[in-house]
């Protein structure tokens, strides 16, 4: 019976809690990206976020995204 519990617990993935970032952090990250001193990959790694997340923030908070919001 203990073997059954071990097998079940080993196979169960425990999700990591999602990290939340405030809007100011996102805007600053996009400004750093737009400055062109680092690649998107390098900056994402430095900030501990995925490249996809940084790209999403760029679309929302970058120059084009800022113009789209009132």
pTM of the model: 0.67
- What's the rounded mean pLDDT across residues 5-33? 82
Residue 54 lies in a domain: yes
pLDDT digits (tens, 9 = 90+) for 13-25: 888 888 899 999 9
Domain around 45: 20-68
In sequence order, the 6+-apart residues with CB closer than 8 A to the CB of 61 are 23, 26, 27, 30
What is the SS3 assignment for 24-43? Answer: HHHHHHHHHHHHCCCCHHHH
Asked if residue 47 belongs to a domain, the reply is yes
In a domain, 35, yes or no: yes
Place of tokens 């995204």: 65
Phi, psi (degrees; rounded to nearest 5) at 27: -65, -45
- Domain count within the chain: 1
Q: Answer yes or no: is 6 within a domain.
A: no
């Amino acid at each position: 019976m203990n073997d059954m519990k071990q097998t079940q617990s080993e196979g169960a993935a425990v999700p990591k809690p999602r990290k939340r970032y405030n809007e100011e952090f996102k805007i600053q990250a996009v400004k750093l990206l737009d400055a062109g001193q680092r690649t998107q990959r390098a900056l994402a790694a430095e900030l501990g976020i995925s490249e996809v997340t940084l790209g999403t923030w760029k679309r929302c908070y970058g120059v084009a995204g800022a113009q789209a919001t009132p």
